[in-house]
Amino acid sequence: MSTTADPLAALGSLPGVAASVESVRKAVDRVYGHRVMRRRSNEVTSEAALRGARGSAALSGADWALEEVRRRTDFGGEGEPRTVGAALRLTAESGQLLSVWRQSPLRVLARLHLVAAGGAQPDDAVGRPRLRGESVDEPLIDLPLPDADEVSGRLEGLAALLIAGTEAPALVTAAVVHGELLALRPFGSYNGLVARAAERIVLVGSGLDPKSICPAEVGHAEPGRDAYAAALAGYASGMPDGVAAWIAHCGRAAELGVRESTAVCEALQRGAA
């Protein structure tokens, strides 16, 4: 990252980032201007939450059809049901943590991990960054794993930047939070789900998507896990081109989320949803 006083804002000068930011802003403005949003925004929000959770679970290895997620209630079992249940719980919880995020991002991340784990791990491993020698269960992310000391330092640095405030566009901040959490994998499990929930919190809390109707998780999942992992590897490299490509990837994901909710608005307008 840059050594300027606002390193997040400095990322806005990377090639292509400004164009991504503007494209996302225009797309979000369009869906918020849809006539359905004036009367039925709560329904759009609920549907976006469900679709976002489905997309996030897919990226963590539980790629269920939307209707399967909608009809199932047995999310306590091992494997994929537990992953889908964790994604649904995180999506529901994220909206309750916006004010806390502004004051204590690390407290929110701990809460998100606690919600995701849902009793699936020993209590002393839940809701805290991993300690030296502890393993990480995140099989779909194939990146070098930073040690516990590096994790602690980088988390503290990220939290300090967020608390201090930034002039960076919401897309840039959300992309960095998402990328940093997945590069670090600070928890013993569910890091992908937590990272995508944190991205959602930034996009909503920044005012870009205040009603949480643009599920970026859908857009991250649509190109597939390989494209997601390749973009993340660019961020983890720390090279300007790789970081810019990751931010652009997050921008495309947000726009695909907008497209998803636009389709929901059109279906509601036709009386088909």
Q: Give, in order, the Cα–Cα distances in Å from 254 to each of 212, 218, 238.
A: 11, 8, 22
> Closest by alpha carbon to 256, among 7, 33, 55, 35?
55
Least confident of 40-54, 85-99, 125-139, 152-166: 125-139
Tell me what pLDDT residue 40 has: 95
- Tell me which residue of 27, 81, 84 sits closest to 52, measured CA to CA: 84
pLDDT band at 76 (very low <50, low <70, confident <90, very high): confident
CB count, 10 Å around CB of 58? 24
Q: Which of 5-9, 221-225, 231-235 has the lowest mean pLDDT?
A: 5-9
Average pLDDT over residues 37-49: 95
Whether residue 176 is predicted with pLDDT greater than 80 in this model: the reply is: yes
- Minimal CA–CA distance to 87: which of 109, 118, 108? 118
The two three-digit tokens of residue 88, written as one number: 């649904």
Closest CA to 137 of 124, 123, 155, 125: 125
CA 228 to chain centre: 12
Mean residue pLDDT across the chain: 93
Quote the pLDDT of residue 112: 97
For residue 221, what pLDDT band results from cuts at 50, 70 and 90?
very high
- For the chain, the first-to-last Cα distance in angstroms comes to 45
Q: Range with the lowest mean pLDDT among 2-11, 27-36, 68-77, 141-150?
A: 2-11
In this prediction, residue 228 has a pLDDT band, given cuts at 50, 70 and 90, of very high
